[in-house]
A and B are shown apart, each in its own frame.
Chain A
Amino acid sequence: MDLKEKLLSSFLAFEQKVDINAALHDVRTDALKVFENKGFPTKKEEAWKYTSLNAVLANDFNILPKNESDVEWKDVQKYFLNDVDTYKVVFINGVFSSHLSSTTHDGLDVCLMSSALTKPKYKMVIDTYFNQVANKEDSLTNLNTAYAFEGAYINIPKSTVVQKPIEILYFTTGTSSNFVQPRNLVIVGENAHVQIIERHQSLTDTAMFTNSVTEIYAAKRAIVDYYKLQNDLLTTNLVDNTYIEQKQESRVSVHTFSFGGNITRNNLNFYQKGERIDSTLKGITIIGEKQHVDHYTLVNHEEPNCESHQNYKGIYDERSTGVFNGKIYVNKIAQKTDAFQQNNNILLTDKATLNTKPQLEIFADDVKCSHGCTIGQLDESAMFYMQQRGIPKKEAKALLMYAFTDEVISSVAIPDLQLKLQKLISMKLGVNIGFDI
Chain B
Amino acid sequence: MECQISNIFNFKLKEMLVIKNLHASVEDKEILKGINLEVKAGEVHAIMGPNGAGKSTLSSVIAGNENFEVTEGEIVLEGEDLGDLAPEERAHKGIFMSFQYPVEIPGVSVTNFIKTAINETRKANGQEEMPANEMLKLIKEKSELLEIDRKFLSRSLNEGFSGGEKKRNEIFQMAMLDPKVAILDETDSGLDIDALRIVANGVNKLKNENNAVIVITHYQRLLDYIVPDFVHVLHDGKIVKTGGKELALELEEKGYDWVK
Contact = CB atoms under 8 A, between A and B. Distances in A.
Interface of A: 379-382, 384-393, 395-396, 399-400, 402-403, 405-407, 409-410, 433-437
B120 A391 contact: yes
Contact of B88 (A382, A391, A406, A409): A391
Contacts of A402: 107-108
A393 B102 contact: no
A434 B88 contact: no
Contacts of A379: 103
A387 B86 contact: yes
A437 B112 contact: yes
A387 B91 contact: yes
Given A388-B63, A435-B112, A393 B105 contact: no
Interface residues of B, number: 36
Contacts, number: 89
Contacts of B120: 390-392, 395
Contacts of B90: 388
A390 B124 contact: yes
B129 interface: yes
Contact of A388 (B91, B101, B113, B114): B91
A380 B117 contact: no
A395 B90 CA distance: 16
B1 to A, nearest CB: 42
A391 B114 CA distance: 10
Interface string B89-119: 0111001110101110111100011111111
A380 B66 CA distance: 10
Nearest to B129: A434
B136 to A, nearest CB: 13
B115 A390 contact: no
- Kindly name the residue among A380, A386, A389 whose own CB sees the greatest number of chain B CB atoms within 10 A: A389
B213 to A, nearest CB: 16
A94 B203 CA distance: 66
Pairs of residues from A and B, 8 with the lowest C-beta to C-beta distance, nearest first: A406-B107, A387-B87, A390-B91, A390-B121, A389-B117, A385-B103, A382-B103, A387-B88
Interface string B50-93: 00000000000001111100000000000000000011101110
Given A381-B103, A385-B102, A403-B106, 18 more contacts: A384-B67, A387-B86, A388-B88, A388-B96, A389-B114, A390-B121, A392-B120, A393-B88, A396-B88, A402-B108, A403-B108, A405-B107, A406-B108, A407-B106, A409-B107, A434-B115, A434-B129, A435-B112
B173 interface: yes
A402 B96 CA distance: 24
A410 B109 CA distance: 13
A392 B121 CA distance: 9
- Kindly name the residue among A396, A403, A437 whose own CB sees the greatest number of chain B CB atoms within 10 A: A403
B106 A385 contact: no
